Amino acid sequence: VTGEEVLTFACEDCDHRWEEDVYEAEDYGLEGAICPMCGSSVVIEF
């Protein structure tokens, strides 16, 4: 455990789930996350 916060994302279109640390997730900005599997922007954050 590194002590960094990790965010979990889930794609509503293909149901792919993945984790990214908070510092990487901040780069998404207003448009939000993009699913790395299908490219959808319909992504929710847990």
Q: What is the pLDDT of residues 1-46, one digit of tens each?
A: 556 799 999 999 999 999 999 887 777 776 789 999 999 999 999 8
Q: Give pLDDT, residue 22.
A: 86
Domain count, the chain: 1
Q: Is residue 28 part of a domain?
A: yes
Distances (CA, A) of 2 to 5, 21, 28: 9, 11, 22
pTM of the model: 0.78
Q: Give pLDDT, residue 3.
A: 67
Q: Answer yes or no: are the C-beta atoms of 5 and 21 closer than 8 Å.
A: yes
- The alpha carbon torsion through 25, 31, 32, 36 (nearest 10 deg) reads -90
The secondary structure of residue 3, as a DSSP letter, is: S
Q: Is residue 1 part of a domain?
A: no
The domain in which residue 28 lies consists of 6-45
From the list 29, 36, 39, 35, the residue with the least C-alpha distance to 11 is 35
Q: Give pLDDT, residue 30.
A: 67
